[in-house]
Structure 1
Amino acid sequence: MSGLSRRDLIRTGAAGAAAFAAGANASPLDSARMLPAQLDKGAFAAAVAELRAVVGADWVFADADSTLPYLKSFTPDPLHEHVPSGAVAPASVEEVQAVLKVANRYKLPLWTVSTGKNMGYGCATPASSGQMILDLKRMNKIIAIDPDLGTALVEPGVTYQDMHDYLVEHDLPYWIDVPTVGPIVSPLGNTLERGVGYTPYGDHFFMQCGMEVVLADGTIVRTGMGSVKNSTTWQAFKWGYGPYVDGIFTQSNFGVVTKLGFWLMPKPPAFKPFMVRHGEMADVAKIVEAMRPFRMSNLIPNVVLMMGAAYQLAMFHRREEIWDKPESVPDTVIRDFAKTKGLGMWNTYFALYGTDEIIAAVEPIVRRAFEASGGEVLTEKEMGGNLWFEHHKNLMSGQMTLEEKGIMRWRGGGMCCFAPVAPAKGEETSQQTDLAQEILGKYGLDYSVAYAIGGRELHHLIFILYDKSDPDEEKKADDCIREMITRFGGRGWASYRTGVNTMDLVAQQYGEANRDLNARIKQALDPNHILSPGKQGIR
């Protein structure tokens, strides 16, 4: 094997990864791990022994069998470039500090995850092979909930389900804002990726207040008011004094966030969910133009989801029920099947919150605008019991649901998400829709999308659904998302978030000055580059 490089071995697929990890006599399971490029087997074994002394032997996963769960991902990895070397799961801040000390000594790269459920973006897999997963799932304490201020302080392993159950158990008058698969994911992890939910508190980073961060050298930093002795306002006031640094620990690898504060939404006296149904793909521009004034004025206060019919159908149906040909499902086929389920080609979900009087005053204004756009404005009276309406009603009221996981069954378990951002303007929305359909059609993939409409911007969430078990399909999905990133970026529509397989590609679109600044911060805070190298293109 001396004539082969690591890249050559990766290109040989699982067998090559196994050969690199454990030699020619490796078992098939050895493809589940790959050693760091700069460590030989002896140094890696010594590092593992020290990590076991820190966290206990049961919480270091360094053989192929125990590492296998960390390889699970729905995103394409045709060249096997995202294979971990193992995982370590500390239970406390002190253990995190000790793990980092070991990692610095051996130059062992650590890929940090909270629950490892970053679905559509790589789950727990690292940006490059050989990294050991720093799994913070055991740090799962809800440290504090202030019932008066509606603030929370949690560890990385706490899930939205944990938070929801706590609020119910203690009969607290607050809602937790959730992403689409909230029960299994972490508020800390989702916030650090700048994810969104669907209530008026849907911008999770905006609602974040205070962090505890362990730097690469073991230093503990508390942001905002958290560094003040005897402070009682850590979760009440975001900004603190001096430069606001919380942002540099989101979508980065500059530290390990071990505590996160955030605000809970007071449960409103009244809540009314709506769906607006439009019948044609070309209606997308009219929907955005109708919605934008309401989002800018906050008359519609929550993050609005404008759902494409194909994505909606994939939640509860499989592709073969609708279309049995390899090319993209035609719009006419999607439209006809969607009608049988009470859906349009676009289904826009929003809610009104407050008192009965406030909702009664705003509803007629909203109705007139959307009816003028050609939409049917529907409520629980007309849609009650409809699977899709009930799902979005739950999301918009902070309830737990996992129904959107169903989209992975559409075409064989593969899924990656491309999330370009554009201004909330109808013309650009139409242009994005046309470009996405063109590229997906080229690869025989379906236009399964949602638009999330914020105050002045929209996120075009394009889900590339493919057969993960078919190497040709996996390669096709990988080529598709790379073409999308390149061509959308060329139009100024760069992604705000991406999977481990495309972080470098997206980072390039934000320019050399931006990348250089990130590199300088990285070098200052993590000179041995042990923390999640490659995350967001920062090495």
Structure 2
Amino acid sequence: MGIWLMVNPGGYQSNLITIPKDEDLHQAIEIIRPLRTSMVPQNVPTVRHVLLDAAVMGSRDKFTTSNKPLNDKELDEISEKLNLGRWNIYRALYGPEPIRKVINWLPNGAHLFFSPIAKVTGDDAVAQYALTRKRCEEAGFDFIGTFVVGMREMHHTVCLVFDRLDPEPCRRAHALIRQLIDDAAKKGWGEYRTHLALMDQIAQTYNFNNNAQMHLNTTIKNALDPKGILPPDKNGIWPSGYNAKDFALSPQRSTKL
């Protein structure tokens, strides 16, 4: 096996561009798209919500005493305190002398990632942000997310952060991500990764033409791995030797994991 290594560029320069308002997200994505496809930023830029940065800087009580989702005024105060925008573009350029900052501390806690794919357009970015923030706040969570901008698609990762030892936020987080999966399916958005407990639900959203794709996947699974020696439930694909209902994680069971 051969691996094609990148030629040593001589250095690496990371940089940050701040976007002050939610209303600026649309234009920011529209500007990034032609730059990305032209390989101006040679690695993958991310468009990160301010609360994702705030979580790295300290725990929630460092920024607020409220236990409710933060409103726009509170988010602006956090942005000002951290000298960041509501959204922040992280990218890197190769060539100049490297500037590297090592962060060794990470916040402790549990998380679930809701990760839908989107077109690289401002319309899609704003639509996904509006939906996911609304659902997060309805469930009592702050929206914490980032857009990872590819050549023709964006990966939108929404971080649902909660205390895994507290049953109440654990229940809300699991109910929220299941709601988001259903919402995304209605909009035609699919997820590119998920927790094992949610793979069956997501697989069931790809149900065009009477679940034709799942019928094909199951046929291949039964031909190549009928005993389920390889992960029998990966991506919601079960071999015929298993009764999927006996093993599938229901919303009630998954909150106890």
TM-score (normalised: structure 2): 0.85
Greater RCO, 1 or 2 (C-alpha within 8 Å, sep 6+)? 2
Could you tell me how far 1:497 is from its partner in structure 2? 0.5
Please, which of 38, 44, 50 is the counterpart of residue 297 of structure 1? Answer: 38
Indicate the residue corresponding to 1:58 in structure 2. none
Post-superposition offset of 1:263: 4.1
Aligned equivalents of 1:418, 1:264: Cα separation in 2? 32
Helix, strand or coil at the partner of 2:178: helix
CA contact (8 A) 1:419 1:459 kept: yes
Give the match for residue 152 of structure 2: 456
Task: State the shift of 1:316 in Å.
Answer: 2.2
**Paired residue for 2:249?**
none
Indicate yes or no: 2:232 matched with 1:536: no
Shift of 1:402: 5.3
2:241 maps to none
1:509 to 205, 228, 246: 205
Question: How many Å separate the matches in 1 of 2:198 and 2:104?
Answer: 26
User: What whole-Å deviation, never above 9, does each CA across 1:454-493 have from its counterpart, x for those lacking one?
Assistant: 1111111000011211111111110000000110121011
The 5-angstrom pairing of residues 107-126 of structure 1 reads none
2:129 counterpart residue number: 433
Percent identical across equivalent pairs?
30
- In structure 2, give the amino acid aligned to 1:535: K
Query: In structure 2, what is the Cα distance between the partners aligned to 1:334 and 1:426?
Result: 21
Q: Would you say 1:519 and 2:215 are equivalent positions? A: no
Cα distance in structure 2, aligned partners of 1:465 and 1:475: 12
Aligned to 1:342: 83
RMSD: 2.0
Task: Work out the CA distance in 2 between the residues paired with 1:447 and 1:419.
Answer: 13
Once residues 331 and 300 of structure 1 are traced to their aligned partners in structure 2, the CA distance between those partners, rounded to angstroms, is 31
Structure 1 residue 531 displacement after superposition: 1.8
Q: How does 1:301-320 map to 2 (within 5 A)?
A: 301-320=42-61
- State how far apart, in whole Å, the 2-side matches of 1:533 and 1:402 are: 37
Distance 1:265 1:449 in 2: 30
Please say if 1:416 is aligned against 2:112.
yes
User: Counterpart of 1:491?
Assistant: 187
Query: 1:274 aligns to what?
Result: 15
Determine the C-alpha separation between the residues in 2 that align with 1:488 and 1:353.
36
Which runs of structure 2 are paired with 1:78-89 in the superposition (5 Å)?
Answer: none
Give the partner amino acid of 1:315. V
1:68-467 residue pairs with structure 2 within 5 A? Answer: 234-235=1-2, 262-354=3-95, 403=105, 405-406=106-107, 409=108, 413-467=109-163
Distance 1:496 1:298, change over 3 A: same
Deviation at 1:266, TM superposition (A): 2.9
**Cα distance in 1, alignment partners of residues 5 and 104 from structure 2:** 21
Residues 1:529 and 1:296: Cα distance change in structure 2 (over 3 Å): same
What is the one-letter code of the residue matched to 2:168? D
Distance 2:74 2:182 in 1: 30
Match of 1:164 in 2: none
* Equivalent residue letter for 2:234: K
Are 1:473 and 2:169 an aligned pair?
yes
Q: What amino acid maps onto 2:133 in structure 1?
A: Q
Corresponding residue number in structure 1 for 2:255: none
Structure 1 unaligned segments of length 5 or more: list them. Answer: 1-233, 236-261, 360-379, 385-389, 395-400
> Unpaired runs of 5+ in structure 2?
239-257
Count matched residues.
235
Alignment partner of 2:193: what SS?
Answer: coil
- SS of 2:230's equivalent in the other structure is coil
TM-score normalized by the length of structure 1: 0.42
SS in 2 for 1:529: coil
Q: Which structure's CA Rg is the greater one?
A: 1
| Aligned residues of 1:420 and 1:460 also touching (Cα < 8 A) | yes
Amino acid at match of 1:500: L
Supply the distance in 2 between the matched residues of 1:278 and 1:457 (Cα, whole angstroms): 21
Separation (CA, whole Å) in 2 of partners of 1:291 and 1:436: 22
Distance (whole Å) between structure 2 residues aligned to residue 349 and residue 325 of structure 1: 29
Aligned equivalents of 2:4, 2:123: Cα separation in 1: 35
What residue identity is the alignment partner of 1:422? Answer: A
In structure 2, the CA distance between the partners of 1:536 and 1:402, relative to structure 1 (3 Å rule), is farther
